[in-house]
C-alpha cells in the first residue's frame, strides 16, 4: 500500500510516519481501524446470511480503506452468492490490482476462469435476465416470467431474477407464487430490504390474521415440506411395498408359475401314466380274481359233489350198519334195541337195503309200539303220568301205522292234560284229528279240545 505524506508527498511507513517531515498521521490509523471495524461487522452479517447488510458495511469498510483486501474479497464473495457475478469479478480484479501478493482474490478469479461452463452459464443468465427486463418494459409479462424461470433454474442464487419474478407474479395477481419467490430470496439473503418490503405488502394484501415474519414463514414451509416429505416417504414405502408385491406376483406369474405349471403338468402326466398302469394292473387283478372265483366255484362244486358222494356213501354205510345192528338185536330178541336201530337208519337210496329195512320194521316196530302203549296206558290208569308220558311217547315214536296208533296219541294227550300240560295236551288232540280224522275217538277228542280251549 502506498500511503503518502499530506505535506511532502513521501511514502509513509507501515506506522503511517513520514520520515521527511517526521510526522505520524493518526488519521490514517483511525480510518484503517474504522475500516476494520466495518469489515468485522460485515463478516458477522455475512455469517448470519444477511448478505445485503454485509455488502453495505463492507462497502463502507473499503471506502475507509481501499487496501482492506479481506473486506473487498468478502464483498466479491457476497456478490457472487447473490448471483451478481460480474460485480463479484470486478471486486476481485480490483483487489488483485491493489494487493497483487498473497491475495486470495487471484485464486477466486482463477477458479472462475477455469470453469468456462459456469462462465457461459452466468453470461447466459445475465443476458436472459436483461431480455426479461425488456419484455417487462414492453408489457410481455408472460414471456418475461417464462424467461426468468429459466434464469433462476440456471442460476438458483440470482436474487435480481427472483425479485423481478415476484414483482411480475404480483402484477399477474399470483400472490402465492410471488410470496414463494420472495421467500427464496430471503433464504439466500435473510435481510434483503426490497424482498422484505414486498413480502410484508403481500401479507397485508392477503389479509392473513397473523402476519408471519419471513423466518416464520420459512419455518412453516419447512415444517410443511418435512410433513410432505414424511407423507411422501410413507407413500413411497407403500408404493415400494405394493410394487414389491406386484413384482413378486409378476415373478411368480411369469417365472415361478410357468415352472411350477410345467412341473405340475409333468407330475400330472406321470400320475396319469401311473393311473393307467394301475388301471391295467387292476384290470389284470380283476381278471385274475374272476378266474380265481370261477376256479373256486368249480372247485366248490366239485367238493360239494364229492361231499354228496361221500354222504351218500356214508348213508349207505350207515344204513347197512343200522340194518345189521337192528337185525342182530331182533335175532337176539331185543326188540327195543332193534327198534331203536331201525328208527335211526336213514334212507340209503339202495332199494334192496331199503326193502330189507322196511320188512324188518314191520316185524319189529308194531310189537314194540304196542308194548309201550300197554305199559303207558297202565301208568296212565294208575296216574303215573311221567311213566305214562315216557312210554306213550316211545309208542308214538315206534308207531308203524297200526290200528291203535290214534289211541296212543289220544292217551298221550289225556296224560298231558291230567299232568297239567294243557298246551301239549291240545297239540296231541289236534294231531289225532289231523292224522286220523276218522278215528272212533273223534267225539272225545273234540270235546277235550273244546274243554281245554276255554
List of residues contacting another protein (CB under 8 A): 3-4, 6, 27-28, 31, 35, 62-67, 84-87, 89-90, 93-94, 98, 119, 122-123, 126-127, 129-130, 133, 136-137, 160, 163-164, 167, 170-171, 194, 198, 201-202, 204-205
Least distance to another protein, CB of residue 113, Å: 11
Grid coordinates in use for 1? 500500500
Least distance to another protein, CB of residue 125, Å: 9
Least distance to another protein, CB of residue 24, Å: 15
Least distance to another protein, CB of residue 156, Å: 16
Grid coordinates in use for 86? 460480474
- The Cα 57–Cα 75 span in angstroms is 9
Grid coordinates in use for 348? 340209503
Cβ atoms of residues 71 and 99 within 8 Å? no
Least distance to another protein, CB of residue 163, Å: 8
Least distance to another protein, CB of residue 9, Å: 9
Least distance to another protein, CB of residue 221, Å: 21
Least distance to another protein, CB of residue 137, Å: 7
Nearest in space to 92 (alpha carbons), one of 71, 80, 106: 106
Q: What is the DSSP letter of 11?
A: B
Minimum CB distance to another protein smaller for 90 or for 384: 90
Nearest in space to 193 (alpha carbons), one of 396, 53, 33: 53
Cβ atoms of residues 54 and 45 within 8 Å? yes
Cβ atoms of residues 71 and 61 within 8 Å? yes
Minimum CB distance to another protein smaller for 28 or for 404: 28
Q: Maximum Cα–Cα distance for the chain, whole Å?
A: 201
Minimum CB distance to another protein smaller for 27 or for 383: 27
Nearest in space to 71 (alpha carbons), one of 36, 22, 45, 104: 36
Cβ atoms of residues 161 and 151 within 8 Å? yes
- The Cα 198–Cα 166 span in angstroms is 9
Grid coordinates in use for 442? 273223534
Query: Which residues, other chains included, contact 365 with Cβ-Cβ below 8 Å and sequence gap of 6+?
Result: 339, 342, 343, 398, 399, 400
Least distance to another protein, CB of residue 45, Å: 21
Minimum CB distance to another protein smaller for 98 or for 431: 98
Minimum CB distance to another protein smaller for 6 or for 253: 6
Minimum CB distance to another protein smaller for 163 or for 395: 163
- The Cα 45–Cα 157 span in angstroms is 18
Minimum CB distance to another protein smaller for 91 or for 407: 91
If 0-12 CB within 10 Å is exposed, 13-18 middle and 19+ buried, where does residue 5 land? middle
Least distance to another protein, CB of residue 182, Å: 11
Minimum CB distance to another protein smaller for 175 or for 363: 175
Minimum CB distance to another protein smaller for 38 or for 385: 38
The secondary element (H helix, E strand) that includes residue 18 is: strand 17-18
Minimum CB distance to another protein smaller for 106 or for 353: 106
If 0-12 CB within 10 Å is exposed, 13-18 middle and 19+ buried, where does residue 421 land? middle
- The Cα 138–Cα 149 span in angstroms is 18
Amino acid at each position: 500500500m502506498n500511503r503518502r505524506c499530506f505535506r511532502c508527498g513521501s511514502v509513509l511507513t507501515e506506522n503511517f510516519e513520514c520520515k521527511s517531515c517526521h510526522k505520524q498521521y493518526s488519521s490514517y490509523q483511525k480510518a484503517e481501524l474504522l475500516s476494520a471495524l466495518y469489515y468485522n461487522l460485515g463478516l458477522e452479517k455475512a455469517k448470519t446470511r444477511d448478505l445485503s447488510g454485509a455488502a453495505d458495511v463492507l462497502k463502507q469498510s473499503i471506502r475507509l480503506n481501499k487496501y482492506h483486501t479481506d473486506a473487498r474479497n468478502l464483498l466479491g464473495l457476497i456478490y457472487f452468492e447473490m448471483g451478481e457475478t460480474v460485480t463479484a469479478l470486478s471486486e476481485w480484479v480490483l483487489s488483485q490490482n491493489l494487493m497483487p501478493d498473497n491475495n486470495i482474490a487471484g485464486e477466486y478469479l482463477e477458479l472462475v476462469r477455469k470453469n468456462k461452463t459456469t462462465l457461459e452459464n452466468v453470461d447466459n443468465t445475465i443476458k436472459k435476465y436483461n431480455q426479461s427486463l425488456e419484455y417487462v418494459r414492453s408489457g410481455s409479462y408472460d414471456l418475461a416470467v417464462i424467461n426468468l424461470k429459466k434464469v433462476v433454474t440456471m442460476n438458483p442464487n440470482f436474487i435480481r431474477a427472483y425479485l423481478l419474478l415476484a414483482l411480475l407474479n404480483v402484477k399477474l395477481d399470483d400472490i402465492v407464487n410471488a410470496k414463494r419467490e420472495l421467500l427464496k430470496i430471503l433464504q439466500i439473503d435473510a435481510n434483503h430490504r426490497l424482498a422484505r418490503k414486498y413480502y410484508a405488502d403481500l401479507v397485508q394484501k392477503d389479509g392473513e390474521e397473523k402476519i408471519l415474519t419471513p423466518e416464520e414463514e420459512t419455518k412453516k414451509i419447512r415444517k410443511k415440506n418435512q410433513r410432505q416429505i414424511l407423507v411422501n416417504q410413507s407413500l413411497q414405502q407403500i408404493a415400494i411395498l405394493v410394487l414389491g408385491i406386484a413384482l413378486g406376483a409378476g415373478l411368480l406369474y411369469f417365472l415361478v408359475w410357468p415352472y411350477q405349471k410345467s412341473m405340475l403338468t409333468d407330475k400330472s402326466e406321470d400320475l396319469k401314466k401311473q393311473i393307467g398302469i394301475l388301471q391295467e394292473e387292476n384290470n389284470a387283478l380283476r381278471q385274475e380274481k374272476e378266474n380265481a372265483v370261477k376256479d373256486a366255484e368249480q372247485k366248490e362244486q366239485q367238493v360239494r359233489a364229492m361231499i354228496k358222494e361221500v354222504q351218500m356213501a356214508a348213508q349207505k354205510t350207515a344204513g347197512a350198519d343200522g340194518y345189521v345192528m337192528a337185525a342182530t338185536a331182533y335175532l337176539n330178541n331185543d326188540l327195543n334195541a332193534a327198534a331203536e336201530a331201525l328208527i335211526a337208519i336213514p334212507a340209503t337210496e339202495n332199494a334192496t337195503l331199503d326193502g330189507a329195512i322196511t320188512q324188518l320194521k314191520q316185524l319189529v316196530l308194531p310189537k314194540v309200539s304196542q308194548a309201550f302203549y300197554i305199559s303207558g296206558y297202565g301208568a296212565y290208569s294208575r296216574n303215573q303220568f311221567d311213566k305214562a308220558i315216557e312210554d306213550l311217547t316211545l309208542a308214538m315214536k315206534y308207531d308203524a301205522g297200526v290200528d291203535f296208533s290214534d289211541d296212543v296219541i289220544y292217551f298221550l294227550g289225556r296224560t298231558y292234560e291230567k299232568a297239567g300240560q294243557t298246551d301239549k295236551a291240545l297239540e296231541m288232540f289236534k294231531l289225532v284229528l289231523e292224522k286220523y280224522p276218522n278215528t272212533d275217538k273223534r267225539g272225545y277228542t273234540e270235546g277235550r279240545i273244546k274243554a281245554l280251549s276255554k
